[in-house]
Amino acid sequence: MYLILNTTFNIQNRMKNKLLITVVILMMTIVVSGQDSFKGYAINPKLGFFNNSKVGGFAGGVEINYINNIFLFSLDYIRLDEFNILGPEPQENYNQIGLMAGKFTGNKYLRFQYQAGAGPLWGLKRTDLKSSGTGLLGPEIYNSKDFFTVGLVAKLGFKVIPFNFMSIGIDINANVNKERTSIIPMLSIEFGSIRK
């Protein structure tokens, strides 16, 4: 038993060390990457939908971006609510916070961005059947439980930038975790200092 716990502890320490080294290299790259670079920020409200292997529904959220030359750092919050009419009860809902880093490429008016990071996901999910439905107006009732997990988050985005203070685009978010892995396509409108 001691050997298993010791091995698990060593794996966790190695993963923490690799993460720390990655963050330090990323920060050094940013500092060295240019004295004459563009620095900006943006706030990005977005709406869309989500789907995972169990349920689907609507998604809405907000993202805050910091832009440094071609690097992009983001903190986002997304609320996911199951959509079902006369479906099983209770409805599932999730909350996601993502901390991501990445890059973008493109020109003054078009931009493709890619980011990855980590973040918590928590919410309510159905478990086992409590009582069968009674037909069309009587949905199945399930037991439920609150959950919390940490997942890997990623985002691909395409933006059209008609003005230096605004962009319109499509983001495809993903959250890979052990509870409810989800794909989340969203429409976004970004406001702030987006380009020179």
pLDDT in tens, 129-145: 888 877 667 788 888 99
Nearest Cα neighbor of 71 from 109, 115, 110, 23 is 115
Of the candidates 155, 192, 189, the residue with the CA atom closest to the CA atom of residue 65:
192
The arithmetic mean of pLDDT across residues 147-170, rounded, is 95
Query: pTM for the full model?
Result: 0.76
Q: Is the pLDDT of residue 195 over 90?
A: no
Confidence of residue 115 (pLDDT cuts 50, 70, 90): very high
Long-range contacts at 26-31 (CB < 8 A, ≥ 24 apart): 26/101, 29/71, 30/68, 30/69, 30/71
Tell me what pLDDT residue 127 has: 87
pLDDT at 117 over 70: yes
Per-residue pLDDT, 196: 80
Which residue(s) pair with 159 in the sheet?
Answer: 111, 169
Greater model confidence, 88 or 134: 88
SS3 content of the chain, % helix, strand, coil (to 5): 15, 65, 20
Above 80 in pLDDT, residue 45?
yes
Report the DSSP pairing between strands 39-52 and 182-193.
antiparallel
pLDDT at 20 over 90: no
- Look at domain 35-193 and name its CATH class: mainly beta
